[in-house]
Chain A
């Protein structure tokens, strides 16, 4: 008879089984990751860290500080331009992964968490525009309310309600984005970076597969087997 194990032991064993340390924090990547197109996911993460950090400082100091002081303007700009870079790099990352068909090889959840993160990040940014506490925010909110009312969301998502929009912007949306990004990254670590399409499968030649280190993620089906274009 085996002793009854506590939930902490079961959780630890499940976590280590799904993501052993050498997989969670690898010291090498497959050869195909040596490409600039793989940089944009990390650049998006860097942008998110700057957004969260500058957002914390803005929320600590308040609207009078970010509107009326030089340092406040600086951090306001840091926050804005980090968001611009976040979306810029996220879209390039999205394009790269789309054309790689990055959902191949059992990576559906990786793709879905990334896509949902993108969709949640959009209102996370838009609520920032109506949280500025200036005439620009008033103008945007009074324009946006018509769209919200048209889709039937105006009753519980009132863009002219500063308190509600600010709460969404600095708590609910960031928590959702950070949680989704964390899950996305852990899933990438678990399944490995998606390999490129094999030219041999496309041309029909019996060429050896692309060189990859021993720690490479599991093999993908040949082109056509994973929903890839023929």
Chain B
């Protein structure tokens, strides 16, 4: 498969959009620990959710300081 987002179709002789970046034509890889069984793809999604959650708390929201200053000016506070 091409990393360019397309693959060559031998029947039509054209580049066609590919369905997935990775080859999905095989059973899913799973992590099995006691009664817990998770596919690797699901583990990756859960990890990304945790990272996004942490970043959402840490990264400042754009314009927050400007809006807070405007609120304080509006209320006449220093």
Contact = CB atoms under 8 A, between A and B. Distances in A.
Interface size class of chain B, counting residues whose CB lies under 8 Å from the partner chain: 10 to 19
A92 B68 CA distance: 26
A88 B45 contact: yes
A34 B63 CA distance: 8
Given A31-B68, A211-B71, A213-B71, A36 B49 contact: no
B53 A211 contact: no
Nearest to A30: B71
Given A88-B49, A91-B49, A92-B49, A37 B67 contact: no
A39 B56 contact: yes
Interface of B: 45, 48-49, 52-53, 55-57, 59, 61, 63-64, 67-68, 71-72, 75
Given A88-B49, A92-B53, A92-B56, A34 B71 contact: no
Contacts of A31: 64, 67-68, 71
Closest 4 CB pairs of A and B: A34-B64, A36-B56, A37-B56, A34-B61
B71 A36 contact: no
Contact of B55 (A34, A36, A91, A96): A36
Contacts of B64: 31, 34-35
Please report whether the interface of chain B is mostly helix, strand, loop or mixed according to DSSP. Answer: helix
Contacts of B71: 28, 31, 211, 213
A157 interface: no
Contacts of B59: 36
A113 to B, nearest CB: 22
Interface string A89-102: 00110011000000
Interface string A68-92: 0000000000000000000010011
Given A88-B49, A91-B49, A36 B61 contact: yes
Given A96-B57, A211-B72, 17 more contacts: A28-B71, A31-B71, A34-B61, A34-B64, A35-B57, A35-B61, A36-B55, A36-B56, A36-B61, A37-B56, A39-B56, A40-B56, A88-B45, A92-B49, A92-B52, A95-B49, A95-B53
Nearest to A70: B17
